[in-house]
């Protein structure tokens, strides 16, 4: 069912969390490529860009002062300090996407997921991606060769505490095989879109159905 037209549904806030290197960013890319109803929330961050990252596409790369000013002006729907840097989801962009009936995908950590739940529980669907093993996670972090040894070490040690938050999520996927994991993710989204409360046109539709002669 499309989000356009008379049967327009309520957009959902889809949160994807995982420790760095578990495949979340790849899944996010696949989803925004294949599903035109999903829009990625581009976060603000104070961390420096990695090789190949583009300002305004992967993140908005900002100074700590700019981040603090936006936060003080209530410009973030949620924000958190992760790996010694600030990250936040800009409120205005998300609200305008939801208003137009689109789903918004958040690649954010457990702290952000919790804040979104606190402010908009009915609209939030939370998915956690687990690596098949910690050895596998380390191998993935090392093979992407984007971070220094020091950064990889910190991300690995943070992974243990991030994984311990798995039980705050609605769905948990083990990313053993990327394509299988992606199929499961799309099935979750498809089912969540059909929830009764996300289809405000249903009561009117059913009323009309019941008045119809056979």
- Which residues make up the interface to ligand 5GP (CB under 6 A)? 20, 43, 47, 78-80, 82-83, 87-89, 107-109, 111-112
The least CB distance from residue 184 to ligand 5GP, in Å, is 19
Nearest approach, Cβ of residue 159 and ligand 5GP (Å): 10
Between residues 158 and 199, which has the closer beta carbon with respect to ligand 5GP? Answer: 158
- As a whole number of angstroms, the distance between CA 32 and CA 38 comes to 6
Least separation, in Å, of the C-beta of 5 and ligand 5GP? 32
- The number of beta carbons lying within 10 Å of the beta carbon of residue 181 is 20
Q: Which of 79/182 has CB closer to ligand 5GP?
A: 79
Write down how long the chain is. 214
CA quadruple 44, 108, 199, 185: dihedral sign: positive
In which element (H, E) is residue 180 found?
helix 178-193
What element of type H or E holds 118? Answer: helix 110-120
> Which residue in the shown chain puts its C-beta closest to ligand 5GP?
112
Shortest reach from residue 109's CB to ligand 5GP, in Å: 4
The residue among 23 and 88 lying less far from ligand 5GP, judged by its C-beta, is: 88
Q: Give the residue carrying structure tokens 């989000």.
A: 3
Nearer CB in complex with ligand 5GP: 139/206? 139
Q: How far is CA 56 from CA 31, 41, 43, 90, in A?
A: 18, 10, 9, 12
Q: Reduce the DSSP state of residue 153 to 3 states and report it.
A: helix
Compare residues 9 and 107 and give the one whose CB is closer to ligand 5GP: 107
Instruction: Spell out a b/e string for 24-51, using b for 16 or more CB atoms within 10 Å of the CB, else e.
Output: beebbebbeeeeebbbbbbbbbbbeeee
CB 82 to ligand 5GP: min, Å: 4
CB of 208 to ligand 5GP, least distance (A): 42
Using the minimum distance from each CB to ligand 5GP, give the nearer residue, 50 or 195.
50
């Amino acid at each position: 069912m499309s989000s356009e037209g008379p049967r327009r549904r309520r957009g959902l806030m889809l949160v994807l969390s995982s420790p760095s290197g578990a495949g979340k960013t790849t899944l996010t890319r696949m989803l925004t490529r294949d599903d035109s109803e999903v829009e990625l929330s581009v976060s603000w961050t104070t961390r420096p860009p990695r090789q190949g990252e583009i300002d305004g596409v992967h993140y908005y790369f900002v100074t700590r002062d700019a981040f603090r000013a936006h936060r003080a002006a209530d410009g973030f729907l949620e924000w958190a300090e992760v790996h010694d840097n600030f990250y936040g989801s800009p409120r205005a962009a998300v609200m305008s996407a939801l208003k137009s009936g689109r789903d918004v995908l958040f690649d954010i950590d457990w702290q952000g997921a919790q804040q979104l739940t606190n402010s908009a529980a009915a609209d939030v669907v939370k998915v956690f991606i687990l690596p098949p093993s910690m050895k596998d996670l380390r191998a993935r972090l090392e093979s992407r060769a984007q971070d220094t040894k020091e950064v990889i070490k910190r991300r690995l040690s943070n992974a243990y505490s991030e994984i311990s938050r798995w039980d705050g999520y609605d769905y948990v996927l083990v990313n053993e095989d990327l394509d299988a994991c992606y199929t499961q993710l799309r099935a979750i989204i498809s089912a969540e879109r059909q929830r009764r409360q996300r289809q405000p046109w249903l009561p009117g539709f059913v009323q009309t159905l019941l008045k119809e002669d056979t």
